[in-house]
Amino acid sequence: MASAALMRCLPNTGPFCDVDRISFAKQKCSYVERFASLFAKHLSRHSVQCLAPSPSSRHSSSSSTFLCAAVTSESSTDSRVQPTTDASKCVLVVGGTGGVGQLVVAALIDRGLNVRVILRDTNKASAVFGEANMDKMQVFVGDTRKVGELEPTTWEGVTHVICCTGTTAFPSKRWDGDNTPENTDWHGVRNLIDALPKTVKRFVLVSSIGVTKFDQLPWNIMNLFGVLKYKKMGENYLCKSGIPFTIIRAGRLTDGPYTSYDLNTLLKATAGTRRRVVLGQGDKLVGEASRIVVAEACIQALDIDCTCGQIYEINSVEGDGPGTDQNKWKALFTRVSTA
């Protein structure tokens, strides 16, 4: 669709390339809204495309090879083979009141792990998780977007990190207070990595599919305000940090977000009939991912050795999945990581 209208709405194209993007968005450009809607429909129509890997499929974090694997065994909704509780493990969750973050925190607490959350407003923690659950987690005040607001005591004893921060791709109420993609997905992630001690055993970062293609259609529509570009910059910084990492690139998120639900409600959340997990590498996966599945993938990646230093794309489709069964998740990750 190479119309003049499209060219005017894409960054750095056409005679309007110097337009101020924020002002442009506030005028509610109908073309941006239209193409954003089409992009979402594009993702929902394309579920999973499993392509054969190239002959030289020795992938790394920068590989373009695509591999996928899915759990096809019987129902796992009742699986209870979970990671072993370790009293010495302290998991720091950044973005813990967001759609994925809430589910991560709830699941970690349910498993009896030491959970620490960084929040800009500590009152939000009790509103989301309930006063009765506040003694089950440690809450620290901090803003990863601002270096000066990250206290050294926040990291004491932290062994693992799950970062679920994010904002909307297009200007919205969530951009209030400079909560833009650049500040959240780039500066925030970079500041967090710089502040963490090198003794952290694993850093799991939630990112997005399409980050390697932010300058290509249809992804450049989603990247109009830089969300994919800044997420990729955050990924790159983590990869070069020396901290053991796993990156989970989620498809279009579904289920929730479960805003201001109590802990019991979060634990009862299900992914409906879309529980089958599909993993890929090489940023070729297109589709949707349940927030519940993404949260569980992050938790499982903390303890599965083969996920260290790896980048995965994740979708969830119709069928039964691994649930919380560590053995099934290990088989899934191993199948992709060693293909």
The reported pLDDT for the residue numbered 201 is 98
The reported pLDDT for the residue numbered 62 is 39
The reported pLDDT for the residue numbered 69 is 57
The reported pLDDT for the residue numbered 177 is 87
Q: Estimate to the nearest angstrom the gap between the alpha carbon of 60 and the chain centroid.
A: 19
The reported pLDDT for the residue numbered 63 is 41
Domains in the chain: boundaries = 1-45, 65-337
| Nearest in space to 91 (alpha carbons), one of 105, 106, 77, 74 | 105
Q: Classify domain 65-337 at the CATH topology level.
A: Rossmann fold (3.40.50)
The reported pLDDT for the residue numbered 3 is 39
Q: What is the pLDDT of residues 249-293, one digit of tens each?
A: 999 998 865 553 455 566 566 657 788 999 999 999 999 999 999
The reported pLDDT for the residue numbered 12 is 43
Mean pLDDT of each 10-residue bin along the chain, 339 residues long? 38 40 46 52 49 36 46 42 70 94 94 93 80 87 90 94 95 90 98 96 98 95 96 98 98 72 58 85 93 96 97 95 96 87
